[in-house]
Structure 1
Amino acid sequence: MTASKPTHAPILFPVVDQSLVIGGIPLPRLAARVGQTPFYAYDRRLLTARVQALRAALPAEIELHYAMKANPMPAVVQHMAGLVDGLDVASGRELRVALDTGMLPANISFAGPGKGEQELTQAIAAGIVINLESETELERVATLGHTLGLRPKVAVRVNPDFELKSSGMKMGGGPKQFGIDAERVPAVLTRIGALGLDFEGFHIFSGSQNLKPESIVEAHDLTFELGLRLAAQAPSPVKALNIGGGFGIPYFPGENRLDLGPIADNLAQKLPDVKARLGGAAIIIELGRYLVGEAGIYVCRITDKKVSRGHTYLVTDGGLHHHLSASGNFGQVIRKNYPVAIGNRMGQDDAAPASVVGPLCTPLDLLGDKMTLPEAEIGDLVVVFQSGAYGYTASPTRFLSHAEPIEVLV
């Protein structure tokens, strides 16, 4: 029986007296304060440290935006809004959370296919930038703007003619529901000019969750080339070029942290020429997972321990209904374990392999498969690391009608 060991799990969180510490609070004490399990906890100090480290590494000219879809918890967004230069939303509800932070509307963008008329109306009225995903959406925005007597701010989300190689999820290149195909963009730009919309620039995003700097460097080079080519046909000067993100975080044994050095060096080399040719336009990197993913944990409690034909199962009050991605059902082709630990037994020697499962009536409810963990007992706290992004809100919380988890920012 093969077991996987979470060799990179506790890197960002300290341990005191065999207890994981989140936001300066030992895990058992934090669980008592929360009053229930399961729960998500996000460490504000780690959020701040990640943004500071990124700003120190990248050229000062780069503007940094937070993609709220990664974690839209209002308290997290409020904290991030004080650290970054802008926010990106993907729904009307996220837009309201973003506006509540006090972020200037001009520094909020709205991306995603299939935006509803009510959402578009809210966005136009608020004065945020709408990333156009289709010609139909362009016409819809223009009509709504005319009805409201307002001039909508728009950018064109471009589906590029290249992919971000080695990305966990390809968002551009080939046929895609995201953005307008690059070859169709010139005609769209002409139409934007004819409609008299307030043209802001371009959003070009080709992929996510990438740990290879050479792939990101290549994508940046191709993005700059495409952006400059399209800018020559724009109805007015480009105010901003959003080159997306794609920076990944390590989830699985054997994965290394993304080396920002080559990315930063390439940006430092290319930015002066690009900005000069774009008339000083803002160059934006938009990140979600990279900013918040490693600053969060998911905590559940062992409610039963059973042995079935020689294999130990740790049954918890959490599961895939709270953390779909950790269960391996959020786009993984081959299931791999997220880093998992017994949060109140950190540093103890590993025992026999065990699987961590939840209370759902499906074999898919698996948080850790055949993992080497310390000898755990009923009442111990299971921690799933790398849970700050695409956790709670990316999960089917109503499945089997169990109680929903709590979220805390500490």
Structure 2
Amino acid sequence: MKEVPKHANMDWFPVIDNHLHAGGISIERLAIRTGKTPFYVYDRNIMTKKVETLRESLPEGLHLHYAMKANPMPAVVQHLSQLTDGIDVASVAEMQVALNTGIDPLTISFAGPGKTDNELKSAVAAGIIINMESEAEMERIAQIGDAISALPNVSIRVNPDFELKTSGMKMGGGPKPFGVDAERVPEMLKRCGQLNLNFKGFHIFSGSQNLRPEAIIEAQTKTFALAYRLAEFAPQPITWLNIGGGLGIPYFPGEATLPLDDIAENLKPLIKEAQERLPEAEIVMELGRYFVGEAGLYISEVVECKESRGEKYAITNGGLHHHLSASGNFGQIIRKNYPVCIANRVTSQTTEKVSIVGPLCTPLDIIADKTVLPEVSIGDLIAVYQSGAYGLSASPRDFLSHPHPAEILV
């Protein structure tokens, strides 16, 4: 058998008798069980291992929250709600999924700019923590609380005066639509103390998808220092401090799994100091992609193979309308291939260079461009790794009105 080139991050899912498996079941069997292709499959055991690894590596006193925007499938959220210490949501619809898990509402936080009055009313009534994104939002929350005779639980989302360097997506530092500029927070805290609000603390999130420990260490160190400066102006003791996440996962050739040792060693004294200076505060690390990204596969089926001017194309029944990020149209500046394989024939006597494309009428509908695989045939199942985060929910699934894919948790 000839080994097909693969990324180092293709090792979560076992290959048995040359067939890819998820949750101990072959992808072919899962396709029959699901009743259709394309589909997403998420492996609960991989998610569990990711949480366990993080708990074993990071110091005690750090609470782990799942940012469910990474994958809002209710079954996934339910599973992670039992493993983590809380859930972070970005809409009322996500809030309802989180509440349906049965966890304490005070372990749910709601972030995002532009919350409507109806969204704020629902969040206040539910008793979750609302991360306030502006002074105006704070005033509206207070008015809503008075109107429905409820004391809103709130924190301030801070736009820090630093960024998470080399992060895949910068969420803080410089002008941003997210949060309140750090220099404006002291005045906002003064006003917060005059309103009927239960102030909990701060949400300081500077960036995501980072694979450089030194950048994460610098940002976390600055985050705690900023929290201490702002806490001096708080109307009551800080009981909640969300330091964000930022831990990335490898997607492309040359990228490696983020080492946690140095991050953990740096966090130990930071957590200890926080316990002394903010003794009532629960310290939260919020992660989404890190828990679920490597636990998912996207499976589509080859419906046609064709050649054009010396290049082979395998056309599948799935594409960017289901998996925008794998197509390279979700934040990539220079398009790179996600790791892919043929799930029903992982290795072969012969290989070929082939482009895997979808059925849409756009040249952007590319799953893998000129990748090396076993010879592709009609009926083969193409598996895209690293598909557990920002897959289906971040894709234009109604584009050209093709059928939606299924989702399963195994």
The answer on whether the counterparts of 1:302 and 1:378 sit within 8 Å (CA) in structure 2 is: yes
Indicate the SS of the match to 2:194.
helix
Indicate the SS of the match to 1:326.
coil
Q: Amino acid of the residue matched to residue 91 of structure 2?
A: S
Q: Deviations over 1:321-379 (max 9, x none)?
A: 00000000001110000011111111325612100000000000000000011111000
Aligned-partner Cα distance in 2 for 1:160–1:326: 31
Partner residue of 2:276? 276
Partner residue of 2:219? 219
Q: Which runs of 4+ in 1 moved over 3 A?
A: none
Aligned-partner Cα distance in 2 for 1:290–1:315: 31
- For residues 121-132 of structure 1, what are the structure 2 equivalents within 5 Å? 121-132=121-132
Partner residue of 1:401? 401
The answer on whether the counterparts of 1:231 and 1:238 sit within 8 Å (CA) in structure 2 is: yes
Q: Amino acid of the residue matched to residue 123 of structure 2?
A: A
Aligned-partner Cα distance in 1 for 2:21–2:309: 36
Q: Deviations over 1:143-175 (max 9, x none)?
A: 111101111000000000000001000000000
The answer on whether the counterparts of 1:8 and 1:339 sit within 8 Å (CA) in structure 2 is: no
Q: Amino acid of the residue matched to residue 340 of structure 1?
A: V
- For residues 256-275 of structure 1, what are the structure 2 equivalents within 5 Å? 256-275=256-275
Q: Does residue 137 of structure 1 match 2:137?
A: yes
Aligned-partner Cα distance in 1 for 2:116–2:105: 19
Aligned-partner Cα distance in 1 for 2:9–2:265: 29
The answer on whether the counterparts of 1:5 and 1:253 sit within 8 Å (CA) in structure 2 is: no
Aligned-partner Cα distance in 2 for 1:350–1:228: 61
Q: Amino acid of the residue matched to residue 339 of structure 1?
A: P
Gaps (5+ residues) in structure 1? none
- For residues 151-230 of structure 1, what are the structure 2 equivalents within 5 Å? 151-230=151-230
Matched length: 407
Q: Amino acid of the residue matched to residue 356 of structure 1?
A: I
TM-score by length of 2: 0.98
Q: Amino acid of the residue matched to residue 150 of structure 2?
A: L
Q: Amino acid of the residue matched to residue 218 of structure 1?
A: E
Partner residue of 2:65? 65
Partner residue of 1:93? 93
The answer on whether the counterparts of 2:321 and 2:395 sit within 8 Å (CA) in structure 1 is: yes
Q: Amino acid of the residue matched to residue 321 of structure 1?
A: H
Q: Deviations over 1:213-233 (max 9, x none)?
A: 110000000000000000011
Q: Amino acid of the residue matched to residue 139 of structure 1?
A: E
Aligned-partner Cα distance in 1 for 2:140–2:313: 54
What percentage of aligned pairs have identical amino acids? 60
- For residues 38-53 of structure 1, what are the structure 2 equivalents within 5 Å? 38-53=38-53
Q: Amino acid of the residue matched to residue 254 of structure 2?
A: G
Partner residue of 2:21? 21
- For residues 342-353 of structure 1, what are the structure 2 equivalents within 5 Å? 342-349=342-349, 351-353=351-353
Q: Amino acid of the residue matched to residue 161 of structure 2?
A: D
Aligned-partner Cα distance in 2 for 1:408–1:263: 33
Q: Amino acid of the residue matched to residue 177 of structure 1?
A: P
Indicate the SS of the match to 2:137.
helix
Aligned-partner Cα distance in 2 for 1:205–1:222: 11
**Could you say if the C-alpha distance between residues 334 and 141 of structure 1 is closer, same or farther in structure 2, counting changes exceeding 3 Å?**
same
**Could you say if the C-alpha distance between residues 104 and 43 of structure 1 is closer, same or farther in structure 2, counting changes exceeding 3 Å?**
same
Q: Does 342-351 or 226-235 show the bigger shift?
A: 342-351
Aligned-partner Cα distance in 1 for 2:227–2:171: 17
Q: Amino acid of the residue matched to residue 325 of structure 1?
A: S
- Following superposition, the deviation at residue 10 of structure 1 comes to 2.5
* Cα-Cα RMSD: 1.0
TM-score by length of 1: 0.98
Partner residue of 1:315? 315
Indicate the SS of the match to 2:407.
strand
Q: Deviations over 1:124-157 (max 9, x none)?
A: 0010000000111111111111101111000000
The answer on whether the counterparts of 1:9 and 1:341 sit within 8 Å (CA) in structure 2 is: no
Aligned-partner Cα distance in 2 for 1:193–1:362: 54
The answer on whether the counterparts of 1:342 and 1:381 sit within 8 Å (CA) in structure 2 is: yes
Q: Amino acid of the residue matched to residue 162 of structure 1?
A: F
The answer on whether the counterparts of 2:145 and 2:196 sit within 8 Å (CA) in structure 1 is: no
**Could you say if the C-alpha distance between residues 349 and 388 of structure 1 is closer, same or farther in structure 2, counting changes exceeding 3 Å?**
farther
- Following superposition, the deviation at residue 279 of structure 1 comes to 1.9
Aligned-partner Cα distance in 2 for 1:300–1:93: 28
- Following superposition, the deviation at residue 196 of structure 1 comes to 2.6
Q: Amino acid of the residue matched to residue 29 of structure 1?
A: R
The answer on whether the counterparts of 2:132 and 2:157 sit within 8 Å (CA) in structure 1 is: yes
Aligned-partner Cα distance in 1 for 2:350–2:259: 31
Indicate the SS of the match to 1:201.
strand
The answer on whether the counterparts of 2:163 and 2:173 sit within 8 Å (CA) in structure 1 is: yes
The answer on whether the counterparts of 1:9 and 1:340 sit within 8 Å (CA) in structure 2 is: no
Gaps (5+ residues) in structure 2? none
Q: Amino acid of the residue matched to residue 191 of structure 1?
A: R
